Structure 1
Amino acid sequence: MKKMIIRFALPMLLAIAGSAGLFAQTQVSGDILVNTTWTLANSPYQVIGPVRVVQAAILTIEPGVEVRFGGQMLLTVDGQLEALGTVSDSIYFLADTLVPDTGFWQGIDINSSLNAFAHLEYCQLAHAATALEMIGNGVGSHLELENSRLSACGNALRAWKPGSATVRRCHFSQNYIAGLDADLEVRRCSFENNTYGFLASVCDIDSSTFSFHAVAAIAHSGGRIANSLFLSNVIGLLEHGGTPLDSVINNQFAENDTALVSGNNLSAVVGNELCANMVNVRLTSGLNLSMGPNCWCSIDSQAIQATLIDGHVLPGLGLLTFLPLDASCTVIGQVWPGDTDDDGVANVADLLYLGVAFGRTGDARGNASPGWVGQAGLPWDQSFASGLNYKHADCDGNGAVNLDDTLAILANYGQTHYKTQRVSGPNGIPLFFDVPASAAAGDTVEINIRLGEAADPAIDVYGLAFTLEFDSTLVRPLTATHTLAGTWLGNPGQDLIDLAVNDGNLSWAIVRTDHQDTVGNGRIGGVSIVMVDDLTRWVQFDSAFSVTTPILVNKNGQSLDIRVQVVPDHSCGPDRFTVCPSPASAQVRIGLDSLIAQEIAVFDHSGKIRYLKSGTLTGSVTVNTAGYQTGIYFVRVRLSNGLLTKKIFILQE
């Protein structure tokens, strides 16, 4: 293989360009002394030694470039880093190995002592010890991080003063700690399945979601958390330390074991919704806490008190006083263009309420504007089943509900104000997603979507909406397409309309427009996606996506119970193994069903093996986990033709 070696004055950047299979590759290490661009033509870039961007230099990385780091390799930015991908062409910072573990490479350090700057947009970072870190002391550095995904890292983001970071529209998943900071602004981000979401000393978090964490957010030195959702965490918000949070305002806490833990006398806890949590608020010190007006989904003071742990329950703790809002938690009055169901966010679900009110007329808004701002308007004569007035469906404010109103949904898509959240439950009308059991590199995979079945038909259905969230390490971004072919919900273009938004995930709403419910069962549509090209083995396809925010309504806009089920077709793929219980404490049982395994391993978030058994394994294996710390662990089963992996949460009392 012919190689080209480029040499610079010492300290130097060494670049070796060649070929690996059908792809060019460039090996890099050393100091970058002048403005440099890493191009798509020379991608992937293999970091074979530490790389440093010196103070006077700018490193620019083109969309689509892959940067692959060798073991423990580090990129240090003393100058400037510009890595601006696009919605269809991300930039990747990955481990240079086929089987990466958390912490395989060190990460990207942004040097505060030299006033460094980094701007990353549409980037994906995975398997680093600390993916992005503001280091050093001095005048400060700054990080702008937008529309990016950080996953499977020890720490995804770490920002120490005097450095600062602004994070917008990013997704953090499967990290040990998503964010550890001293000066951080977070807007419209999602945090899912990390062990810890944010450990924040001074933070400003707004319009973000936190789900499936041991602790979603820990705050200990002031700051603000507002307009965010804490769903299905062991602990939602843990507040302690020398300086209380300045405000906890207009958040929703739902289905957490404990929603809010406080050891300080918080300055302002108002406008929050605390519902369906095992414990709503737990005090941990002798300080009293006076909460302002919040919604508890009840106005029964005794029922609310039963969800609190304070000095009334445990002597020595402070006492908590509260002021309940209306049990409906409804904010009434202003119209937010695009948010037809007034749940606080403009998304495809708003097409459902638009369909319910389709063709209706009422008073126009004198101050009508398509902008994302609350607008006063006179009530119309009709209301949805929830009591919400039809005026909210008139997005453009002209006094009529029609297809033109969908423009405001698209224009303001993803914008939020005070919001609530719908979740599916174990009962209700079944919504099936039929998928193959496994998929390989480059496969085009069809997802057949069915609503109702012969023995359990969908009755009184008018519309539905849902989002398919894809794992971008498995599914090629923006390849999802959708079709209504074969639907029984109606006749597309006549009495049925739909709206889909593909921003890496696919959000889709389908609704009738004739004010008549329908009944049926079977196929309502389909989605097609393409797997990434660099998979080295087959994967269980149902791990490549998840179904979120499913909504089903009747002609009055009343929500119907819905039950989501992903149905893998095992006739053409491997059987699955089981891990139970979850969460576990003393022991875990790993059931192999009909599988014959060569190895079973349990490892922690850092990749450390905690249990290993090899041989010809069948039946089941019991693992003693009594000595494991609380956190997320992974069970890996090695077969003759691939690997199967599952996550389990260990919770020690």
Structure 2
Amino acid sequence: MERIFFFAIAILCLNATTIATDIPVGYVSGTWTLAGSPYNVQGSIQIPNDSTLTIQPGVNVIFQGAYKLNVQGRLLAIGTIADTITFTAINTTEGWRGIRFDNTPATNDSSKIVYCKLQYGKAIGTSPDYNGGAVYINNFSKVIIYHSLITKCSANNSAGGVYIVAANPIMSNSTISYNTSFEEGGGISIRSGSPIINDNLISYNSGTNGSININGGGIYIESGNASIVNNTISNNSSTQGGGIKIFGGNSIINNNIISNNQANTGGGIYVQGGNPTISYNTISGNIAQNSGGGIEAGADITITNNIISNNTATSGGGGIRCYTESAIIKFNFICGNTVTSNNNEYSGGGGIKCVNCDPSTDISNNVIANNNAGNGAGLLCYNASPTLTNNILTNNSASNNGGALSCSDGSPIFRNCIIYGNTAATSGTQIYLYDDSSDPKFYYSDIQGGTAAFELNNNFYTGAYQNNIDTDPLFATPSGGSGTGYNGLTADWSLQNSSPCIDAGDPNGIYPSTDIAGNPRKNVCRIDIGAYEYQTGIPSFVVSLGISQPILCNGAATGEITTTVSGGAEPYTYHWSNEQTTPNVSGLVAGNYTVTVSETSYACSIVKSITLTEPIAISIDAGADTTIICGDTIAFITSTNYTGTDPLTYTWSPSVGLSDSTLANPYLTPTSDQVYTVTVTTSDGCVATNDINVTMVPINAPEICIVSVDSSNKNLVTWNKPLSLSIDSFYIYRETITTDVFEKIGSEPYDSMSVFVDNASLPNVQSSRYKISIFDNCGLESNKSGSHKTMHLNINQGMGTTWNLDWEPYEGFIVSSYRILRGTSPDSLQLIGTTSGGSTQFSDFTSPAGYIYYQVEVVSPNFCNPSKSYSSSRSNIATNNPNGIYENTNTSDLFSFYPNPATDKIQVFVKQKSGIEIMNAVGQMLKSINAIDNNSNIDISGFARGIYYIKVKSVNGIIVKKFIKE
């Protein structure tokens, strides 16, 4: 956005002694020098965002009409103690419209108004222009006002001097005087935010709107958390809160002098809402035409460590009037205050007047002395029953009734209080009870004259009156008499060493740690009566407990407690809640322990308690129970709830199968079912255990690759051997005569070929169904595999030379096709046809005459490799030869061979000229020798490991024998 800057136009007047700079309406920035002073502002001006206007010391800024300085950038008006910068108006009646920080962007650095004089600022018109006569600050906290004078400014609504809303500026070491507002905050108005107002003089500010209540002559606080510290707030006036009016928020009013202010209500301070703290102030000489000469408290207020003196109210509460809400009034000197009216029974309360107060109102450790009132010169309770503890009500003077206390429908509670030396012109020198419903309670107090001196106004007193005394308290240096004619502030209200109030207070109460002078409370073991604690004599009886040995483990009885005692007089006695009687106790479990320690000088006893705690029980989780296959390895994964830094010790039991029984997470290779227990131990000896159950499960079931009929006309079972170091052997099962009932017929070691020949099988008679399983090194047998069944082939002759083939289908895998083999001998089988896997019949119309041999073959879709390729399964050989496929009858003695098993050669011996063939397990011929007469060495080194057959043919028949190649 384009910015237009209107620059100062220097006009040199004809008079050589006068130099001025005219500033027209618009934007300003740069530097206003002393040489160009005065600066005559001829319209409202604005410092733009991100721009700075610097005004040099000694410059006079004179607004020529009702114009304002709007700061959207940065203002640096920094004068010196000798060269003040002045902001003023040429027409003091019309004034100017002040310096305004209205939503100034927070990106700008702090604006500073230092050693400046702001006068004749006037806020008029409508909102927000009618707020903040000199300075208006809205939603911008980077404003510092320091060593400046804000005077003779006014606002038609709020803040004749400085208006603050949603901002946290700093105002320090400045004077805000003779400013006026129409409704609130003659000097300063704080609508919200947390400003810091410190070390200022705020005086002679006021409200001017006749019939409407004007709030806060000096300062008005609507809400927020203002800090009002070290200021002098004096001679201000308004309808409510001559010095300060607080409507809400949690402001702190600390260490100020608030004096000689006037208001209808709340001459010094009026608190209508919020939770402010008023502390360490001197509040004196203020006047309220109605009530609350020093403070009018209508909210939950804390009033502590103040001097509240010589204030005046007409109807009630010369020092303080608290009403409706709860108040905390502690450690104050409330002296020399006056209530002038004596119209009725509830006119009074020279020191404090409580009206309709919440019962939780706490008035304690105060000196209430030398106050004057018509009734209740010290305290008047009207429909109120506050609690008063360790107060001194003395030398107060009532022109009518109740020198110390007057109650009308009120029953306050007094504990450890001194009520002495008060006077009343009519009745009840100490205490006056106006009606029968007023029954104050007194405990451990010094009451002059006792109940006999109570003035009951023809009523009956039925309140509690216990453990009180009626004796001169023997103050160190009391004031010379009652009433405001004597100075209660300069008196010394501490106790002489022979005072009957020493160690005479309630021994069972809970009290603050110090008295009104900041000295420790309780000498020996009983608190004194009054606001001061006597500080000499037998040392205070003090008992403390400490834990000398904490409990290190959950559930352990290892705790120790030590008692430390000082003061009083020995010997001390001890009685613990667990019946022990020694100073120190040990062997303790977790719990709360109480000891009563007694000394002998005053027979005082102190009860102390301490709690022994124990750590959370350490726990360990070994993990969920698990299963494992023989030969596998798993890692235990433990977890604990231990949060310490010292190392933990682990022990596993038993250690069998573990990589290391002292690790948190060892590896396990088990061989049997086992429950393992882990024990964890901390450096403090705390122990936890947990179990994990490890169960062995068999290896997964193997699968048969193929079953077939070998060249020796025996069933052959083949499988692929899993790679494992945990397999002992393979079990082979054959179906019995009962369907799906299998019996074990043999086994093969893992290191043998994964081939099994069922020598008991009868392939020519029937098919057989087989399953296998794995027996592992852990003694577990797997589930059985799926079954495979051999093919059984039958043939029958049709018309002429036609032969019909019928076979049982192969079971174990999906057969895509069957191959039909035919030959004139078992050794000459050739493929003659193929049929689909869904067919189990075939007719051969072209068979030759004579003996015919048939066999059915299927090719496996799986790869079988026990030692070499096994890719097909063959049925039995069916023939029309009445002798079957073997022509020899009893010819086994016609040849022999060795060795068996063999490695690279076998030597064959025959008794007659013979031919030799060597076949593999599925009948494929691998080697043929036409004729040998006696013996022959046959080279088999090129054969793979496996089972083979030697077929010897001679004139006497055919002999087949099996051997193994290693």
Q: Comparing both structures, which one devotes a greater share of its residues to strand?
A: 1
Q: Same fold (TM over 0.5)?
A: no
Using the size of structure 1 for normalisation, the TM-score is: 0.44
Q: Where is the helix percentage greater, Structure 1 or Structure 2? A: 1
Bigger Rg, which one:
2
TM-score (structure 2 length as normaliser): 0.30
